């Protein structure tokens, strides 16, 4: 069974989220809406499934991150198949240290991205099918990489807005 975040990790994550939200608020609602629209457009070029028919969820853990993508309609077999296909492909790229897809969507300066790319092979990734999509489970014993994964997830949640959630 996967360990959930400790109180210390939860507090650190909450602080990082608050900082990210404050930073997004400082850029203004119009800027945030514009950024999210650009992220949505770039995401549609990378992800084969429909962002408005799916939800990304990110769950920080003590040893990494769980990223789940599900179809909003669990009976939408096409979206479920596209999610599984895409996450399987992304897991293979991630294992090779290739985070070009997230970078093309969120930018090369995405929090956590450089640290994760530099440590290629130090994060294990497992693809798990769920009834309405798939899940990527990232694990590492390196606390700095755990922090990088958490930052990376928070950036995605902030950028995807209503298409993403943090559990």
pLDDT at 41 over 60: yes
The DSSP secondary structure of 45-64, one letter per residue, reads HH-SS-GGGEEEEEEEETTE
DSSP assigned state of 75: T
**Stretch 53-82: mean pLDDT:** 96
**Stretch 70-95: mean pLDDT:** 96
> Which tens digit of pLDDT belongs to each residue from 101-112?
887 776 788 888
Lowest mean pLDDT segment, chosen from 34-48, 78-92, 123-137: 34-48
Closest CA to 129 of 78, 70, 72, 75: 70
Read off the pLDDT band of 15 (50, 70, 90).
very low
Q: How is the chain split into domains, by residue range?
A: 7-166
At 1 the pLDDT is 41
pTM for this one?
Answer: 0.76
> Which residues face 129 on adjacent strands?
134
Higher pLDDT among residues 126 and 156, named by residue: 126
pLDDT at 18 over 60: no
**Stretch 67-75: mean pLDDT:** 96
* Two tokens, residue 156: 């995605």
pLDDT at 8 over 60: no
* Two tokens, residue 78: 């096409």
Task: Assess contact for 54 and 69: CB atoms under 8 A.
Answer: yes
At 155 the pLDDT is 85
At 66 the pLDDT is 97
pLDDT at 17 over 50: no
Mean pLDDT taken over the chain? 82
**Stretch 156-166: mean pLDDT:** 71
What is the dihedral angle through the alpha carbons of 144, 148, 151, 152, rounded to the nearest 10 degrees?
A: -170
């Amino acid at each position: 069974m996967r360990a959930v975040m400790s109180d210390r990790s939860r507090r650190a994550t909450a602080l990082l989220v608050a900082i990210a939200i404050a930073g997004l608020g400082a850029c203004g609602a119009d800027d945030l809406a514009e950024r999210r629209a650009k992220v949505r457009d770039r995401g549609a070029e990378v992800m084969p499934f429909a962002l408005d028919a799916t939800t990304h969820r990110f769950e920080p853990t003590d040893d990494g991150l769980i990223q789940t993508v599900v179809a909003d309609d669990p009976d939408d077999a096409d979206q479920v198949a596209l999610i599984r296909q895409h996450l399987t492909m992304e897991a293979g790229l991630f294992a090779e240290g290739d985070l070009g897809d997230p970078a093309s969507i969120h930018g090369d300066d995405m929090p956590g991205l450089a640290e994760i790319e530099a440590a290629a092979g130090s994060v294990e990734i497992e693809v798990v099918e769920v009834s309405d999509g798939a899940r990527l489970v990232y694990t590492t014993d390196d606390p700095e990489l755990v922090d990088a994964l958490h930052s990376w997830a928070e950036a995605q949640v902030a950028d995807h807005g209503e298409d993403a959630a943090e559990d």
